[in-house]
Chain A
Amino acid sequence: DQQVKQNSPSLSVQEGRISILNCDYTNSMFDYFLWYKKYPAEGPTFLISISSIKDKNEDGRFTVFLNKSAKHLSLHIVPSQPGDSAVYFCAARADSGYSTLTFGKGTMLLVSP
């Protein structure tokens, strides 16, 4: 039973355009969401997060949007750069300080020059 779903295994975007990565979740107890970026042969690195009390969080080229009613979040990358090519994981945590992260399967983003 997958609680965090990233339904697009891959996404191709041209350099300079917007990349939109989507994530859906089923557990209504999730209240904190994170995006991680992973290059081949490296561990995931934290990118951006959002609390359920917000609907948007921005950090430079990266913006995460949260739609609680739809149980959906998205990561926007503008403008996309070739160095953004990586696998992006969506993760969520329930409302407990001792709860652990649940990850999606990831979306491989390819940004072409």
Chain B
Amino acid sequence: EADIYQTPRYLVIGTGKKITLECSQTMGHDKMYWYQQDPGMELHLIHYSYGVNSTEKGDLSSESTVSRIRTEHFPLTLESARPSHTSQYLCASSELSSYNSPLHFGNGTRLTVT
């Protein structure tokens, strides 16, 4: 039973469109993350947040932006989608207070930009 939800699961969109990938969690976790992953490759951190009104860029440069207005919600926005944005996007959350708290992942959004 998923406690972290991502929508849509699959998205095919044309170049230049603005898109928002949704992520919500019901666990009350303070920390949330967005990872990008291509087949056979490692997960790359693109954004993370320690809590409301906190957002940080990750290790991988990304043209996307995020917001954290509510604890449970961490949407990712691409202002103008390009074919190079085609990838799987994984949202995750974890407890802030526990150092060794593992990440809980959603089922991902598979994005294809044509």
What residues make up the interface of A, taking CB atoms closer than 8 Å to B? 2, 4, 9, 32, 34, 36, 41-46, 49, 51, 89, 97-98, 100-106
Contacts and interface: CB of A to CB of B under 8 A. Distances in A.
A97 B95 CA distance: 11
- B interface, over-half SS: loop
A112 B17 CA distance: 44
Given A32-B100, A43-B108, A101 B45 contact: yes
Nearest to B108: A43
Given A49-B102, A105-B40, 6 more contacts: A36-B105, A43-B4, A43-B107, A89-B42, A89-B43, A100-B58
A43 B100 contact: no
Given A9-B40, A97-B99, A104-B42, A43 B33 contact: no
A105 B102 CA distance: 18
Interface residues of B, number: 27
Interface of B: 4, 6, 9, 33, 35, 40-45, 48, 50, 58-59, 90, 92, 99-100, 102-108, 110
Contacts of A42: 107-108
